[in-house]
Amino acid sequence: MKHYCAYQERCQKEVEEKLRELKVDQDMADEIMLSLIHENFVKEERYAKAIARGKFRINQWGKVKIKMLLRNSRITTNLIELAMQEIDSIEYQNTIKELYLKKFNSFVKETASVKKQKTIQYLIQKGYEFHDILPVLEGIATQD
């Protein structure tokens, strides 16, 4: 299990699922989990921060989608908020702008208003909130 946890960041839920998959009895699983936590192989804060950074920078997910993933991993609200601080606000706005322009320009036959609507929907599906998208739209509109 140490190798499993050292390979990439894991949360307690993932380790519990792996132990169940390996059919480890509950008492032994509890001992293993305590040992992994004590030896810092499993640390929820480190996991949450790594997920937030990775999903944002690599997958270009927005905060809503990242928070949902962390909640599904049984990460506490406090740790989720701490992990969200790993995302730089300027980098976040720049990513929204890049994604918006790339997606908007990928539509060829649609009218500008349809392109805009589809692009906003795309960004919302990626986990960005409308109140974060709006300033980017206003910035692009003033550049035109």
The domain that contains 7 carries what CATH number? Answer: 1.10.10
Same structural domain, 21 and 62:
no
Greater model confidence, 134 or 5: 134
- Please indicate, yes or no, whether residues 48 and 36 belong to a single structural domain of this protein: no
Q: Answer with the residue of higher pLDDT: 140 or 20.
A: 20
Supply the pLDDT for residue 35: 92
Mean of pLDDT over the chain: 93
Considering the domain architecture, whether residues 93 and 127 belong to the same structural domain is answered as yes
DSSP 81: H
Does residue 119 have a pLDDT over 80? yes
Q: Are residues 14 and 58 in the same domain?
A: no
Q: What is the mean pLDDT of residues 62-67?
A: 98
Residue 9 lies in domain: 1-42
8 Å CB contact between 77 and 44: no
H/E run at residue 86: none
Sequence-ordered list of residues with C-beta below 8 angstroms from that of 139, at least 6 positions apart, any chain: 97
* Total structural domains within the chain: 3
Same domain assignment for residues 107 and 139? yes
Record the pTM: 0.88
Quick one: 96 and 134 in the same domain? yes
Whether residues 51 and 95 share a domain: the answer is no
Q: Is the pLDDT of residue 108 over 80?
A: yes
Structure tokens that stand for 92 in this block: 């976040």
Q: 49 and 83: one domain?
A: yes
Tell me the CA distances in angstroms from 138 to 62, 99, 105, 126, 141, one per residue in order.
19, 15, 17, 20, 5
